[in-house]
């Protein structure tokens, strides 16, 4: 047997022993990646919404002959159906509790065009109220089912209203508009389509005081007092969820 044969045999023996030893070693596997964090409703949100709005404008009017307070002739109470839309934005904050309950606060402001639909041919003062601007400050209470959040809501409603109708063929001037307050109550659902984006649909009922007005004609003096302006709001909206104050102002390293 030559020296070369000895070298080859020894090398082969080393490889065989190494293979057997490697077979006895445990196989190392990398740990699985951590599961993604569960979605949380906690934090700030800001978004936009669009709404259909309609309801009832109730007006009480009085017609005096010749001068105010003299010869009261026609006291009437008239209701007009209203219809229109709202477009605006909202922002707020949600707190999440260990049992899945979610409490939140939401503020919003909208441009509105909600006016009587059957007052165009009505000749006289107090022919309803038109809603021109609209806002709400509300609390929300819901229960989170993962990314699905049903809730109820209620709070303060306010808006800019003005008399609407015809008086001797002309619309009432908009400088008679005033800010009115009232209440809001409703319910909705919100769903997180992405970690930071949610969509929502909600219904809200509001009641505010209507607009008041007066008009002097050659033979009569008419006054109109808004009893109430009820509005039903059906809305869809989109929110962007901001998980911290630092992220809200563009400085996530704050960690607040």
Residue 220 inside a domain? The answer is yes
pLDDT at 213: 73
Name the helix (H) or strand (E) containing 190. strand 178-192
The number of distinct structural domains making up the chain is: 1
Residue 8 inside a domain? The answer is no
Residue 15 inside a domain? The answer is no
161-to-56, 75, 167 alpha-carbon distances in Å? 13, 23, 18
Q: Which pTM value belongs to this model?
A: 0.74
Residue 237 inside a domain? The answer is yes
Inform me whether the pLDDT recorded for 8 exceeds 70. Answer: no
Mean pLDDT in residue range 24-47: 74
Mean pLDDT in residue range 141-148: 95
Mean pLDDT in residue range 141-164: 94
Residue 75 inside a domain? The answer is yes
pLDDT at 235: 97
Residue 181 inside a domain? The answer is yes
Inform me whether the pLDDT recorded for 204 exceeds 80. Answer: yes
Residue 255 inside a domain? The answer is no
Burial call 210-248: b when 16+ CB within 10 Å, e when fewer: bbbbbbeeeebbbbbbbbbbbbbbebebebebbeeeebb
| CATH number for the domain that contains residue 67 | 2.40.160.20
> What is the domain range of residue 211?
43-248
Inform me whether the pLDDT recorded for 171 exceeds 90. Answer: no
Inform me whether the pLDDT recorded for 32 exceeds 50. Answer: yes
Residues in the chain: 256
Residue 17 inside a domain? The answer is no
Q: What is the pLDDT of residues 52-100, one digit of tens each?
A: 999 998 877 777 666 555 556 666 777 888 999 999 999 999 999 988 8
Mean pLDDT in residue range 128-137: 91
């Amino acid at each position: 047997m030559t020296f070369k044969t000895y070298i080859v045999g020894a090398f082969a023996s080393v490889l065989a022993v190494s293979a057997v030893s490697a077979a006895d070693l445990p196989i190392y596997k990398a740990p699985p990646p951590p599961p993604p964090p569960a979605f949380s409703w906690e934090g700030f949100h800001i978004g936009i919404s669009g709404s259909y709005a309609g309801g009832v404008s109730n007006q009480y009017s009085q017609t005096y002959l010749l001068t105010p307070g003299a010869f009261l002739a026609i006291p009437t109470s008239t209701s007009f159906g209203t219809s229109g839309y709202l477009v605006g934005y909202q922002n707020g904050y949600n707190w999440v509790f260990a049992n899945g309950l979610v409490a939140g606060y939401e503020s919003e402001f909208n441009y509105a065009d909600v006016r009587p639909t059957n007052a165009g041919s009505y000749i006289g003062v107090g022919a309803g109220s038109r809603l021109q601007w609209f806002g709400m400050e509300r609390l929300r209470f819901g229960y989170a089912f993962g990314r699905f959040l049903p809730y109820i809501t209620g709070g303060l409603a306010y808006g800019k209203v003005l008399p609407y109708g015809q008086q001797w063929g002309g619309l009432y001037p908009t400088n008679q508009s005033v800010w009115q307050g009232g209440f809001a109550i409703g319910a909705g659902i919100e769903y997180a389509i992405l970690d930071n984006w949610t969509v929502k649909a909600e219904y809200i009922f509001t009641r505010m005081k209507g607009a008041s007005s007066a008009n002097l004609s050659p033979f009569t003096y008419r006054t109109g007092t808004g009893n109430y302006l009820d509005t039903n709001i059906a809305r869809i909206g989109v929110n962007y969820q901001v998980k911290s104050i630092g992220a809200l102002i563009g400085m996530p390293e704050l960690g607040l």
